[in-house]
Amino acid sequence: MSWNYVKSGTVGPVLVCLHGVGGNANAFAPQLSGLSDAVQVWSIDIAGYGKTAPLLVMDWDHLVTGLKQFLDHHKLHNVYLLGHSFGGMLAQAFAAKYADDLAGLILYSTSAAFGSNDGEFQKQFIEARLKPLNHGCSMAQLAAKLIDPLLAQPSQPQVRKVAIEHMAQVPNNTYRQAIQCISLFDCRDNLPHLKLPTLLLAGAVDQMASPLMMQRLASKIEGSKLCILPNAGHLANLEQAHLFNQQVSNFIALSTNIEKHTHTSHKKGALHAT
Q: Does 273 reside within a domain?
A: no
Rounded CA separation 60/94 (Å): 9
Q: Does 85 reside within a domain?
A: yes
Which residues, in sequence order, are CB contacts of 144 under 8 Å at separation 6+?
Answer: 164
Q: Does 270 reside within a domain?
A: no
Note the pTM of the prediction, 2 decimals. 0.92
pLDDT of residue 78: 97
Tell me the C-alpha to C-alpha distance, in Å, between residue 28 and each of 154, 189, 191.
21, 29, 26
Q: Does 124 reside within a domain?
A: yes
pLDDT of residue 72: 97
Q: Does 272 reside within a domain?
A: no
Beta pairing class for 40-44 and 102-108: unpaired
DSSP H or E stretch at residue 40: strand 40-44
Q: Does 179 reside within a domain?
A: yes
Q: Does 274 reside within a domain?
A: no
**Enclosing domain of residue 130:** 5-265
pLDDT of residue 263: 47
Rounded CA separation 150/238 (Å): 11
pLDDT of residue 262: 54
- Indicate the number of domains in the chain: 1
* Alpha helices in the chain, H assignment, sequence order: 29-34, 60-73, 86-98, 120-134, 139-147, 157-168, 172-183, 211-219, 236-239, 241-265
pLDDT of residue 249: 98
Q: Does 153 reside within a domain?
A: yes
CATH code: domain of residue 71 = 3.40.50.1820
pLDDT tens across the length of the chain (274 residues) = 689 999 999 999 999 999 999 999 999 999 999 999 999 999 999 999 999 999 999 999 999 999 999 999 999 999 999 999 999 999 999 999 999 999 999 999 999 998 666 677 778 888 888 999 999 999 999 999 999 999 998 879 999 999 999 999 999 999 999 999 999 999 999 999 999 999 999 999 999 999 999 999 999 999 999 999 999 999 999 999 999 999 999 999 999 887 665 544 444 333 333 3
Instruction: Specify the DSSP class assigned to residue 11.
Output: S
Residue 80, SS3 per DSSP: strand
